[in-house]
Structure 1
Amino acid sequence: MIAFPFRFRLILLFLSMSALATLSTGSSEATNSGLPLPRFVTLADVQVNARAGPGFRFPINWVYVRKGLPVEVIDEFGHWRRTRDVDGVEGWIHLSMLSGKRAVIVNATSADPSPPMLRRGPNSRSVPMAIIQVGAHGRLLECEGDWCRVEFSPYRGWLPRSVLWGVYEHEQID
């Protein structure tokens, strides 16, 4: 009769330790690729399906038709990445359809809805080079403080980080 409570306690201890191990490593997403969540990536092909769940058996909810578009990876499951786009639309994309290259989309800010000026240097007093339209997407090259160097072919210049979607506020980009 004494053995049952001991076995029961042993099983409870094992289950508790398993639960603690899972909590201490974070969710399975972090251990899947070893990369941090969330993070930004880009679409690797001209046509990419975003599905309702992490697998080919799930229906396609959305089809992206622009290579290089930035998306935010917010979850991982096996070879699938749950992503969010600039409009907040979420879907599951196979990792073979994603690239580690970085890109940004120009967003209007509530403080200044006018299109931002691409500048020669990383400050508002630097020489303006071009007006970049809201919704334009370009390549992210580097960030320095509140400014990021971007390429909107054929132009390369600096934009305030606050008008860009595809880079985090304090993220270091070299």
Structure 2
Amino acid sequence: MRKIVLSLALLASITAPVLAQETPGGRLGTGLPVPRYVSLKTDRVNLREGPSKDHRTAWVFQRAGLPVEIIAEYETWRRIRDAEGTDGWVLHSLLSGRRTALVMPWAKENTPPIPLLNRADDKGSVVAQLQPGVIANVKGCSGSWCDVTVVAERGGDVEGYVRQEKLWGVYPDEKVE
């Protein structure tokens, strides 16, 4: 029984958002909740093995607007994780507080498109079909539906609603204003 209690306590400490606190050596984080979602500011972001430019670049992101999750902070560095679980360190200046989300990045090949509806209701009219992996700009979320905009193939933005569980970049039941 004791092992189960310890496991539940460990799970609670991993999943519960906490405020960034003073790190060993007295370096403060931002005080914002960790984990939290942000997006990449530019289309070239080096993901490093550690929190300094002296650390090797492990990966280069090449998709501005890609949502990532901040999982740790150290001075001006943020440890981030992408939708595939890859994690590493980036400079805070390469991140934006703008909320974006990926449409079902976990979907298998040949998954049907996800309907973007004109209202937050399964009976709404379809305004667009979203392919898995599309980046959506998050305007707001109610905890079950998100109001998003996406760039249409022919240019211009299309706005509509998608079920929150179809997105990576917002937490389940999270309200975004």
Q: TM-score, normalised by structure 1?
A: 0.80
User: Runs of 5+ in structure 1 lacking a partner?
Assistant: 1-24
Partner of 1:98: 95
What is the number of equivalent residue pairs in this alignment? 148
In 2, the alpha carbon distance for the partners of 1:150 and 1:57 equals 38
In 1, the alpha carbon distance for the partners of 2:73 and 2:143 equals 30
User: Runs of 5+ in structure 2 lacking a partner?
Assistant: 1-18, 152-156
In 1, the alpha carbon distance for the partners of 2:131 and 2:107 equals 12
Query: Of 157, 161, 165, which residue of structure 1 is paired with 2:160?
Result: 157
Give me the identity figure in percent: 36
In 1, the alpha carbon distance for the partners of 2:91 and 2:98 equals 16
RMSD: 1.9
In 1, the alpha carbon distance for the partners of 2:129 and 2:46 equals 32
Is 1:28–2:22 an aligned residue pair?
Answer: yes
Partner of 1:82: 79
* Shift, 1:109, TM fit: 6.0
* Shift, 1:42, TM fit: 0.6
* Shift, 1:170, TM fit: 2.0
SS in 2 for 1:28: coil
In 1, the alpha carbon distance for the partners of 2:73 and 2:121 equals 37
Q: Which has the larger radius of gyration?
A: 1
Amino acid at match of 2:173: H
Cα distance change on mapping 1:77 and 1:106 into 2, 3 Å = same
In 2, the alpha carbon distance for the partners of 1:171 and 1:146 equals 8
Amino acid at match of 2:37: F
Pairing of 1:125-136 with structure 2 (within 5 A): 125-136=123-134
Query: Of 49, 64, 71, which residue of structure 2 is paired with 1:52?
Result: 49
